[in-house]
């Protein structure tokens, strides 16, 4: 389960520290799903297709 998210790298993390930039990650409260790209997204709009994602997880 994805619990953290690095706002700088825009990647989900499993730890409270980003393994890429070593900064603190934030707890992701809501995860959306883009059915066009078939990827989880962390905004309600997928930036790739500019389409609203489906809310799929709320912690």
- Whole-angstrom Cα distance, residue 11 to residue 6? 6
Number of residues in contact with Zn ion under rule CB under 5 A: 12
24 binds Zn ion (CB under 5 A): no
**Residue 8 interacting with Zn ion (CB under 5 A):** yes
In angstroms, give the least distance from the CB of 41 to Zn ion: 7
Q: How far apart are CA 44 and CA 58, in angstroms?
A: 12
Of the two residues 6 and 31, which places its CB atom closer to Zn ion in the complex?
A: 6
- For residue 31, state whether it binds Zn ion (rule: CB under 5 A): no
Gap between the Cα atoms of 30 and 41, Å rounded: 9
């Amino acid at each position: 389960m994805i619990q953290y998210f690095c706002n700088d790298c825009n990647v989900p993390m499993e730890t409270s520290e980003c393994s890429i930039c070593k900064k603190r990650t934030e707890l992701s409260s809501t995860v959306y799903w883009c059915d066009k790209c078939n990827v989880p997204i962390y905004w309600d709009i997928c930036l790739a297709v500019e389409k609203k994602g489906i809310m799929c997880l709320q912690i």
